[in-house]
Amino acid sequence: MKIDISRELMFRTARSGGKGGQNVNKVETMVEAMFPVMESALLTDTQKAMVMEKCRNQINADGYLTTRSSATRSQLENKLLAIEKINNMVNSALVKKKSRIATKPHAGAKEKRLTGKKNRSEIKSGRRRIDHSW
């Protein structure tokens, strides 16, 4: 189940660095998308907790999940990229981790491990000093 949070996003623009010549100095093409996690009407309380936990490095002190995009020279394209980025972050945070099923090694794996140990033992025993006192 994918959630589209684009209607709850807030945007801020700024002048971005990089290529663009005079365009860089005059036009605000960098877009920062902000999502207020705890005020969201789209997420349940458990989903909010999951997003807060898994995206804690991207959440600022005010509780906004933020991301930036300045990949292109167009503000609109950067806005679309920022929306896609933040949607991916939220949706990947909502995926539950599968629990690991414990398994036992099969007979062939045990045999291979034991023969490897035996070979290593023989190699090391061949390095020992020979006792010539007979």
Write the pLDDT tens digit of every residue in 82-118.
Answer: 999 999 999 999 898 889 999 999 999 999 999 999 9
- Rounded CA-CA distance 69/85 in Å is 9
- Structural domain includes residue 110: no
Cα separations in angstroms, 104 against 55, 75, 111, 115: 35, 55, 14, 19
Query: SS3 string of 64-90?
Result: EEEEEECCCCCHHHHHHHHHHHHHHHH
pLDDT in tens, 18-73: 666 666 677 788 899 999 998 888 888 998 999 999 988 988 988 899 999 988 88
Alpha carbons 114 and 125: distance in angstroms, whole number = 16
The answer to whether position 28 is within a domain reads: yes
Whether 109 is in a domain gets the answer: no
- CB burial of residue 37 (10 Å; 0-12, 13-18, 19+): buried
Q: Does residue 13 fall inside a structural domain? A: yes
Domain count, the chain: 1
63 burial type by CB count under 10 A (0-12 exposed, 13-18 middle, 19+ buried):
middle
Per the domain annotation, does 128 fall within a domain?
no
Name the residue range of residue 60's domain: 6-93
CATH of the domain at 13: 3.30.160.20
